[in-house]
Amino acid sequence: MDLTQQWPVPPTTKANRTRARVEYRLDGVQLELDAVDCDSVPFERGDPVRNFPSWRLKRHYDGYHWMGALGASVGFESLTERGCLIELDRTPGVVAIASQPMWIRWTTPDGPREHCPDYFVRLDDGHAVLMDVKPATQIKDDVRRQFDMTAVFAAERGWRYVVYDAESVVREANLRFLGPFRDWASSEELPMLPEDGLPLAEVAALLGVGSEGFAHCYAHLWSGALEADLDQALNVRTIVWQRSV
Distance CA 19, CA 66 (A): 37
What is the rounded average pLDDT of the residues 117-136? 96
pLDDT at 167 (0 to 100): 76
Distance CA 165, CA 136 (A): 5
What is the rounded average pLDDT of the residues 224-239? 96
Is residue 58's pLDDT more than 60? Answer: no
Is residue 78's pLDDT more than 60? Answer: yes
Q: Exposed, middle or buried by CB within 10 Å (0-12, 13-18, 19+), for 47?
A: middle
Q: Which residues have C-beta within 8 Å of that of residue 70, sequence separation ≥ 6?
A: 89, 94, 95, 96, 97
Dmax over CA atoms of the chain, in Å, equals: 67
User: Nearest Cα to 192, choosing from 234, 225, 214, 238?
Assistant: 225
CB 47 within 8 A of CB 137: no
CB 35 within 8 A of CB 156: yes
DSSP classification of residue 47: B
Distance CA 234, CA 115 (A): 38
Is residue 212's pLDDT more than 90? Answer: yes
Pick the residue with more confidence: 67 or 52?
67
Q: Which residues have C-beta within 8 Å of that of residue 4, sequence separation ≥ 6?
A: 160
Between the alpha carbon of residue 131 and those of residues 102, 174, 234, the distances in Å are 11, 23, 29
Distance CA 176, CA 85 (A): 11
Q: What is the pTM of this model?
A: 0.89
Between the alpha carbon of residue 205 and those of residues 18, 104, 105, 128, the distances in Å are 59, 52, 56, 41
Give the range among 39-53, 205-219, 226-240 with minimum mean pLDDT. 39-53
pLDDT at 166 (0 to 100): 84
Is residue 137's pLDDT more than 80? Answer: yes
DSSP classification of residue 8: P
152-195 tens-digit pLDDT: 999 999 999 999 998 788 999 999 999 999 989 877 788 899 99
Give the range among 16-30, 164-178, 204-218 with minimum mean pLDDT. 16-30
Give the range among 41-55, 72-86, 102-116 with minimum mean pLDDT. 41-55
Confidence tier at 57 by pLDDT (50, 70, 90): low
Domains and CATH numbers, the chain: 19-164 (3.40.1350.10), 169-242 (no CATH)
Is residue 13's pLDDT more than 70? Answer: no
Q: Which residues have C-beta within 8 Å of that of residue 228, sequence separation ≥ 6?
A: 197, 200, 221, 234, 238, 239, 240, 241
